Amino acid sequence: MIKSYKHSWQIYVREHFDLGSQKRWNGLSVVTQFQEFMNKRSFESRIWDIGCGQNIIKEYYEHLSIYGIDKSWEADQYAHLEDSDILDCRVDDAFAINSLHFGTVDDIKRRVNHVMDCLSENGTFFLTLNNFLTEEEFKVFANPDFWREFGYLLDLYHADEEYCEDQKLDMWHELGDYVSEDDKQKIYTDAIKSDALWGRCRVTLRK
């Protein structure tokens, strides 16, 4: 079963805190942008999960043909993106959850170009980036023109510093006295400011 959330911090709270009588939920928790992307994929589509980790997403979308690439034994192919056989296979759609952001902005551009080159005509690519750069460098990803270099931009979510502060206020208000001030600050640091779960930048591109 899959449950979607508007913000990553809501997923983080669900996974790390027991809020009184609220039961822990052990399904796959995703942000709405990813669920919308997956719901639009056809049964015939061959979908590549780049940086699949333990390759669990395919377990929740058994009706889709998902192929995981990563340097982990659970992956369908044990390889980094650049060393995989993605160029030699039919790839209709792809997604990369916080797996292409290592290195510089130019490194990211090269990897996104690589994936887009491999997609079938009208193929779609969903990717997320957490904030690994300085705030100034991270602003590059807020510009729609940056992403239009790779294909048709279908959707762009970018959480700048001001937006993070707004989420912090929402989180503080929503959690109330259920969570301590120290834990709220940890949620802000881990799941809003850096967003290691689903990324402060989420992009959907079509070839």
- CA dist., res. 156 & res. 135, Å (int): 17
Mind listing the pLDDT tens digit for each residue in 77-97? 887 777 777 767 778 999 999
- Residue 7 predicted with pLDDT over 50: yes
Return mean pLDDT, the chain: 89
- CA dist., res. 10 & res. 178, Å (int): 14
Overall pTM > 0.75: yes
Mind listing the pLDDT tens digit for each residue in 22-49? 555 668 899 999 999 999 998 888 999 9
Residue 112: burial class (beta carbons within 10 Å; 0-12, 13-18, 19+): buried
Mean per-residue pLDDT for 67-78? 90
Mind listing the pLDDT tens digit for each residue in 162-189? 999 999 999 999 998 888 999 999 999 9
pLDDT-derived band of residue 21, with 50, 70 and 90 as boundaries? very low
What would the DSSP string read from start to end of 131-170? --S-HHHHGGGG-HHHHHTTSEEEEEEE--HHHHHHHHHH
Residue 20: burial class (beta carbons within 10 Å; 0-12, 13-18, 19+): exposed
